[in-house]
Structure formats: structure tokens, C-alpha cells
Amino acid sequence: MSNSQIISTRQRIINAAAELFSAQGITETTTKAVAQLAKVNEVTLFRHFGNKHGLLLAVISESPVFQELGEYLKTQATQTTSVYQALKNYCEDRLEAFEQAPNLVRSVVGEAGNYPLENRQALGRSLKEANHYVAEFLATVMEREQLYAHLPPQKLASLLNIMLLGYAVIEFTSEFHELWHDKDEFLENLVTLFLMGATNSTSLVSSELVKIEKIIDLPSNTVHLILQRAKKSGLRDYALIYILFAAGLSTAEITNLQRTHQICNANQHLLQIVVGSIRQVPVNQWIMGKRYGSYTNNPLTKYLNNRKDEHSALFLNNDGMPISQTQIQEYWQKLTQGLLTPEGQQPTTKQAQHTWCVEMLIKGMNLEDMSLITGFDLHELQPYARRAKEKSALEQARKLDNKS
């Protein structure tokens, strides 16, 4: 038998074992079943691997998770992405690899005590080798970003991989644990915690780890009062405040809007954002439990229908020229004069955006979809998600109190 045939037979056995281990776990998989699937006899299997535990070791140590890890990380280390994004990419890929074989992960964790000592030692060596690749990767990207680590790369790699394995074990062995909202939230928190705890935070400020401001949304009664004041002030002011609360745009995005950037019909009202994060944003009919017109008949459409000018800008100032960010702030200051937030401060335009984002999350929008319509990355959205959970918890407490 040629060497190529031996390799082919060995690989067929490994592939068959990996398929069965992943589908039904290790205990439920017999060497006879593996041999049948690989189209060999059991004697051949034993000759190559000794026993089922030896076969398991080969499945794990020779899987792409280990075999391709070194080259994969070398490629990742040469990319120009920040250390934050590089780490996130690595963690995401490792979790996806675990998710391909949940039954195998469960079996390895639950049955490891049954393996012979030599198999456990060999498995440990495979994990150590994989950890070495990760340590080299961390050392490379951190040197490139000029980050000082409080621990050596080998220790950092060990901690990171242990946390990833811990996630997989919890996900595959328990349900309704509520330790994290979803995988994206876990990844964002893991990488942020890992970098902030393991490195000098000064350098991280200049990376993609965005310094997030505190999310302070506005109470519904304050929102409706501001809108009422805007309505009394005039069609333009009403439309402007309406867009702040109905679409969650920044003042910079509003100043760049043109009339042609509207997509408006009986089924939807959208705005096309053409600066910064290019995207479409919905204009909501409902704001904090109250409806403000329809898609075709709302404060913005009424303002535009009443205009007699030929300007293409969506909003004009008091002189009939395209509105500026400073002027938006001035109008806002006038309309919110004398109002105070629960923190004792005058409301800001930024809080209108905060309020819209939190409300959309409370209504059920997931973070990935929210990222698409806001232009924020998932890391930036985490404080909004936390605030939405806080408000949902408060509402739950109120309902429970009413049942008393």
C-alpha cells in the first residue's frame, strides 16, 4: 500500500470520527461506527490510532482549528486593522469554530476524566502549541500599536483562550443563563475588558476602542413638552425637533439633508444620509408612545409642503438659507429654555439622539440592525443597549408593583 493511500485512509477515519463526534458526542460514538463510515475495518482504525481516545486526540489536534491557526494568525497580524479589531476578529473566528461542533465541546469537557493520562497530556500539548501561536500574534499586534502589556503575551494568550473556551462551555451546556445578551455583546465586552485590563489605557484611546459617553435619554413628558413648544414656534421648528426625536440624527447629518433625500410614501418615510456613515434612516410615526401624524402627513411633510422657495436644502434658517449646526443648537436652546433633565441639566440635542436609540432598542431592534441604521459599531451601541435594559427592568418593576 502506498504512502498516499495510508494518508488517505487515516484522513478518512479522522473525517468520519469528527463527523460522528460532532453529531452525537464521544460516548455515543463507537469505533465500529467510525470504521463503517470511513469504509475501513476496526483493525485498521486501531492500527492508526490505538483506541477511541487516540482517535479523538487526532481529531482535535489535526483539525483546522489547530492546523491552520498559525498561518491564520500570521496573516491577521500583518493586517492594518487596530489591535482592538484584530483581537475581535480572532475571538469571533474561534467561537465560530467551536459552534461548528457543540456536541464535541460538550463531550471533551464532560468526559475528559475518562481519557488515559497519555491522551490528556497529548491534548494539553496541542493546546499549548495553539496558545503559542496566539501569544506571537498578540506580541506582534501590540508592538505595532505600541501598547505596553502588564503581563507577558503567553499569559495574555492563555487568559484570552480560557475565556473563549468558558463561553463555549456555558453556551453548549446551559440555557437561559442570561450572562450576556448574545455573542456580539460577549465579544465586545471581552475584548474591551481584555485590552483595558491588560494594557496601558492611554494608548487605547487612540485606537478603535471608542471612549463612550454616558447615555442620558430624556423622559417621555420632557420629549412631548419640547415637541409642543416647537409646534407653537412654527412649522420649521416643529419639523426640526420632530426629526431629532423621530430619526435620531446628529445636527451635522441634518444640515446636509436635501429635499431629494426623502423617500416618502404611504408605507414608509425614510431619509438618505449622504455624509459620514452612508445609510437610510426611518422617520418614525410614533415617539415615546404618541403618534405624530403619518408617513405622508407629519411635521416634516407639512413644513416642506408649505415652503414656496426653490432651495434644495431640507431645512432653512430664519433668513431663508440652508440651516447650520450652530443655528440648530440655538433653536434648540430657545425651545428647551427652563426645562431640566432628571440630572438637573438643560436638555441637549445629543440627548434627542440618545432617546431615539434607546427607544428603538426597547421596541425590539437588535444591535446588528441598529448598527446599520445608526452607523455606530457594536461597541458604541453597548451603552445604549444597557440603558434600554435598565428602562425595561424599571418597566417590569412597575408592572409587578401594580400587581401587588
Q: For position 114, what pLDDT does the model report?
A: 66
Helix, strand, or coil (residue 376)? coil
pTM, rounded to two decimals:
0.52
The size of the chain, in residues, is 404
The answer to whether residue 338 scores a pLDDT higher than 80 is yes
Please state which of the ranges 101-110, 163-172, 322-331 shows the lowest mean pLDDT. 101-110
Q: For position 207, what pLDDT does the model report?
A: 42
The answer to whether residue 226 scores a pLDDT higher than 90 is yes
Please state which of the ranges 240-249, 343-352, 370-379 shows the lowest mean pLDDT. 370-379
Q: For position 351, what pLDDT does the model report?
A: 94
Q: For position 262, what pLDDT does the model report?
A: 95
Share of the chain above pLDDT 90, in %: 42
Q: What CATH topology corresponds to 3-204?
A: Tetracycline Repressor; domain 2 (1.10.357)
Q: Where do the CATH 1.10.443.10 domains begin and end in the chain?
A: 222-403
Section 222-227 average pLDDT:
97
Q: For position 115, what pLDDT does the model report?
A: 65
Q: What CATH topology corresponds to 222-403?
A: hpI Integrase; Chain A (1.10.443)
The answer to whether residue 205 scores a pLDDT higher than 50 is no
pLDDT band at 177 (very low <50, low <70, confident <90, very high): low
pLDDT band at 232 (very low <50, low <70, confident <90, very high): very high
Q: For position 312, what pLDDT does the model report?
A: 95
CA distance 185 to 187: 5
On whether the CB atoms of residues 210 and 379 are closer than 8 A, the answer is: yes
The answer to whether residue 79 scores a pLDDT higher than 90 is no
Higher pLDDT, 59 or 384: 384
**Chain center to CA of 157:** 22
The answer to whether residue 103 scores a pLDDT higher than 50 is yes
**Chain center to CA of 404:** 38
Q: For position 147, what pLDDT does the model report?
A: 67
Q: For position 70, what pLDDT does the model report?
A: 65
The Cα angle at residue 200 between residues 195 and 205, in degrees rounded to 5 = 75
The answer to whether residue 81 scores a pLDDT higher than 80 is no
Burial of 348-371, coded b for 16+ CB within 10 Å and e otherwise, reads bbebbbbbbbbbbbeeebebeebb
Contacts of 110 (CB under 8 A, 6+ apart): 173
| pLDDT per position as a tens digit, 282-311 | 999 999 999 999 999 999 999 999 999 999
Q: For position 199, what pLDDT does the model report?
A: 57
Q: For position 172, what pLDDT does the model report?
A: 75
Give the ranges where 284-363 is alpha helix by DSSP (H): 299-306, 325-335, 349-362
Q: Where do the CATH 1.10.357.10 domains begin and end in the chain?
A: 3-204
